[in-house]
Structure 1
Amino acid sequence: MTEFAFTLLGQDGAARRGRITTAHGTAQTPAFMAVGTAGTVKAMTADQVRATGSEIVLGNTYHLMLRPGADRVAALGGLHRMMDWPGIILTDSGGFQVMSLAKLRKLDEIGVTFRSHIDGSAHHLTPESSTAIQHKLDATITMAFDECTPFPATPDEAAASMRLSMRWAARSRAAFTPRPGYAQFGIVQGGIYPDLRAESAAALTALGFEGYAIGGLAVGEGQPAMFETLDATTPLLPATSPRYLMGVGTPDDLLGAIERGVDMFDCVMPTRAGRTGRAYTARGVFNLRNARFGDDATPLDPACTCTLCTRHSAAYLHHLFRCEEMLGPMLLTGHNLTYYQALMHGARTAIEQHRFAAYAAAARDGWRQTHD
């Protein structure tokens, strides 16, 4: 039986090159995880997601418990079978929705009572029920239930939120059913306050999770504050476990976090941008709705291997978006995810060759070419 494991294969400064082994296969790190909130990466088939180089996808406890329901997913063979993804699946615990649905929820020590954004029906989510739902979904990696501390928050507000999350983390850990090749990650909270982050990291490592996430960032604090928080936090997490920065981010965010010892990332940014005409490329970010692309017969990104860049022109993509054809978002989503995965592949190679700083500098120089 395969045991869950993180193997450190190389290091360049704080940047780490590793491999995650699970019951559902392996993933190379640094890794960007495609977001499949409701059991699908929007605008893409599972084969298309695989073609981008993605090895892990995300599902979301909150959305899947509402539709189609955890029991129904389990009856259909679990999320892997239902969405045609036999590989690794990580499920968010619903903690981010606890923050984002503030007007629809009531929070107490036990958990969160909230009303569905779909039909207004009442639901209750606790560390125990969140963990049980993720078990029914058959998540390879289960996330502890937490409250994502909003920004801005005073030190007292951040401390109270973090300590509640740590009590919930202990309950999540107790509710988790260990199985070979499966894992549960704790989530470090504490806002932008280093002492609170240290307290949170110590509480989680004492519980002995298989991996550790850093939550509560990319919520408005800005990149400098995020990087300062990572500088203070990642050294406190076990070197033998994967480190996951939740909900981040831009390509520049990813490189900066890798420089600070982060192994795993997820963000809706590349897929959401793909649906709205924004392209991530080696030359920067472009808006394909702009008229200047109307006669551009060249590929969007000549260095890219995706279907869009190898078979179509930027002008064709511009045309699709101007005509509101669904193929436009499909092609551009595939391109953006391919670009993100290529960035991660390049980072892994650079770390192995001890030239990550030069790789990151060259990527940033390329992005400065953008004219949008």
Structure 2
Amino acid sequence: MTKTSFTLQATDGLARTGRIDTPRGTIRTPAFMPVGTAATVKAMMPESVAATGADILLGNTYHLMLRPTAERIDRLGGLHRFMNWDKPILTDSGGFQVMSLADLRKLTEKGVTFKSHIDGSKHELTPERSMDIQRLLGSDIVMCFDECPALPADRDRIAESMRLSMRWAQRSRDAFGDRPGYMLFGIQQGGLEEDLRAESAEALRAIGFDGYAVGGLAVGEGQEAMFGCLEYAPGQLPEDKPRYLMGVGKPDDIVGAVKRGIDMMDCVLPSRSGRTGQAWTRRGQVNIKNARHQDDPRPLDEDCTCPACRNYSRAYLHHVFRAQEMISGMLLTWHNLHYYQELMQGMREAIAAGQFAAFEADFHALRAEGDIASF
């Protein structure tokens, strides 16, 4: 099995560009990972996701363990074959979903017992079980099992949660074992407390991981607080390993995170927005359901090469959304994912050329102009 590696190719300020090499392909960083929660990026075929420029997808341990089950996916040849995606896959540990089920769960030192949101059946998720599920799925990048409190929370609760997560990180590392060709990422916690983040980073460094995530953000604290945390959190993590900001975000969140040293991100936003009539463009957000688009023969973005912009008008996209046709979500999701990947490529090129500050200024200036005038 080919080994995995991370190579830092260029920096510009704190922004970094590089590559993660895995047996299933190279992930160019900074990277945006589309979310394929239940072994599918909603409204997209895997070939279409690849065509947007995505190097890696995210799968969801919690949802897949409940349905169709990790054991069934393993019997059917693993998650890559099951969903027809031959590039790398990162799976989350299930910790975030369990957090969001606070009223259905019981938390102990051992792990979490919870009721399925599907049928009410009882399940237990521990660091060891999470590692086992992710091994059965066959994901290339495995996340250690953690506990993530929703913000705001008081300092004692955040500290207690972080230290539990660090004990679980050690158990995850032990249960993961030696798996050449696969990567295990640790997850930094500590809320918005700089000293708790530092304590968490030190604990993770002592255990040793192939990559490190900044966890516990994008959980209600707002962009200003998140950026405040990112002023120091990435720098507390090893420079020679990938840094992954979990669950982010909007385009301006992503640019701000890369500026502060983040290499990888994921978010449901481009696909979820696409299904609800929202398009992300270089001029900001476009709400295709608005009546102003109903007679507009122009594309969403005349500089975009995705199928929605190349082949369809705003008037058509408005019509199929209003008519609740499936193609609406398909086209808008494709556009959004294409735009996100184009944004990542633009940042990679800008960092390599030492032009990130100019790229960021242009990004914000065009968004400030807003959408094109009504037709």
- If the length of structure 2 is used for normalisation, what is the TM-score? 0.98
CA distance in 2, matches of 1:218, 1:79: 27
Q: Does 1:191 align with 2:191?
A: yes
Q: Which amino acid aligns with 1:172?
A: S
- How far apart in 2 are the matches of 1:88 and 1:364? 32
Letter in structure 1 aligned against 2:289: R
For 2:309, the aligned partner's letter is C
Q: Which amino acid aligns with 2:106?
A: K
Counterpart residue type for residue 276 of structure 1: T
Cα deviations by residue, 1:77-133 (Å, 9 ceiling, x for unpaired) = 000000011110000100101210000000000000000000000000000000000
In structure 2, how many angstroms separate the alpha carbons of the residues matched to 1:145 and 1:345? 31
2:53 aligned partner: 53
Equivalent position of 2:4 in the other structure: 4
Aligned partners of 1:61 and 1:133 also within 8 Å: yes
Which is further off, 66-75 or 226-235?
226-235
Task: For 1:174, give the aligned amino acid.
Answer: D
What residue is the counterpart of 1:235 in the other structure? 235
| Structure 2 match to 1:94 | 94
Over residues 326-370 of structure 1, what are the superposed CA-to-partner deviations in whole Å (9 max), with x where a residue is unaligned?
Answer: 000000000000000000000000000001011011111111122
Q: How many Å separate the matches in 2 of 1:189 and 1:39? A: 27
Deviation at 1:40, TM superposition (A): 0.3
CA shift for structure 1 position 179: 2.2
Q: Which amino acid aligns with 2:319?
A: H
For residue 341 of structure 1, what is the aligned residue in structure 2?
Answer: 341
Q: Does 1:177 align with 2:198?
A: no
Q: Which residue does 1:256 correspond to in 2?
A: 256
Deviation at 1:180, TM superposition (A): 2.3
**Contact 1:91-1:134 within 8 A present in 2 as well:** yes
Q: Which residue pairs with 2:40 in the alignment?
A: 40
Which string of whole-angstrom CA distances, capped at 9 and with x for unpartnered residues, describes residues 28-87 of structure 1?
A: 000000000000000000011001101100111100000000110001100000001111
The aligned amino acid for 1:214 is: V
**Distance of 2:175 and 2:8 partners within structure 1:** 29
Q: Residues of 2 paired with 1:266 and 1:221: CA distance?
A: 17
For residues 294-327 of structure 1, the C-alpha deviation after alignment (integer angstroms, 9 at most, x for no partner) is 0110110111110000111111100000100000
2:264 alignment partner AA:
M
What letter matches 1:303 in structure 2? D
Report the Cα distance in structure 1 between the residues aligned to 2:178 and 2:266, rounded to whole angstroms. Answer: 24
**Aligned mates of 1:138, 1:228 — CA distance in 2:** 36
Deviation at 1:224, TM superposition (A): 1.1
Corresponding residue of 2:148:
148
| 1:78 counterpart residue number | 78
Counterpart-to-counterpart distance in 2, 1:368 and 1:324: 31
Distance 1:33 1:100 in 2: 21
Provide the rounded CA distance (Å) in 2 between the counterparts of 1:342 and 1:181.
Answer: 28
Aligned pair count?
A: 372
Q: Secondary structure at the match of 1:82?
A: helix
1:270 match: 270
Partner of 1:246: 246
Aligned to 1:294: 294
SS at match of 1:261: coil
Partner of 2:279 in structure 1? Answer: 279
SS at structure 2 position matched to 1:289:
coil
Among the aligned pairs, what percent are the same residue? 62
Q: Kindly provide the amino acid, as one letter, of the partner of residue 260 in structure 1.
A: R
Contact 1:24 1:181 in 2 (8 A): no
Partners of 1:326 and 1:369 in 2: CA distance? 31
User: What runs of 5+ residues in structure 1 fail to find an aligned partner?
Assistant: none
Contact 1:91 1:142 in 2 (8 A): yes
The aligned counterpart of 1:105 is 105
The letter of the residue matching 2:298 is T
Q: Which residue of 1 aligns with 2:361?
A: 361
Deviation at 1:177, TM superposition (A): 3.3
Matched residue, 1:325? 325
TM-score calculated relative to the size of structure 1: 0.99
Query: What letter corresponds to residue 305 of structure 2 in structure 1?
Result: T
- What do residues 206-255 of structure 1 show as CA deviations (whole Å, max 9, x unaligned)? 11100000111011111111011111111111111000000000000000
Q: Secondary structure at the match of 1:232?
A: coil
User: How many Å separate the matches in 2 of 1:132 and 1:115?
Assistant: 20
One-letter identity of the residue aligned with 2:224: P
Cα distance between partner residues in 1 of 2:273 and 2:162:
32
Q: Contact 1:144–1:186 (CA<8 Å) still a contact in 2?
A: yes
Letter of the 2:64 partner, please give it: L
Quote the offset at 1:371 in angstroms. Answer: 5.1
Counterpart CA distance in 1 for 2:182 and 2:213 is: 16
Other structure's SS at 2:33 match? strand
Query: What amino acid is aligned across from residue 342 of structure 2 in structure 1?
Result: A
Q: Distance in 2 between matches of 1:366 and 1:342?
A: 15
1:198, distance to aligned residue in structure 2 (A):
0.4
Structure 2 counterpart of 1:144, one-letter code: C
Question: What corresponds to 1:208 in structure 2?
Answer: 208
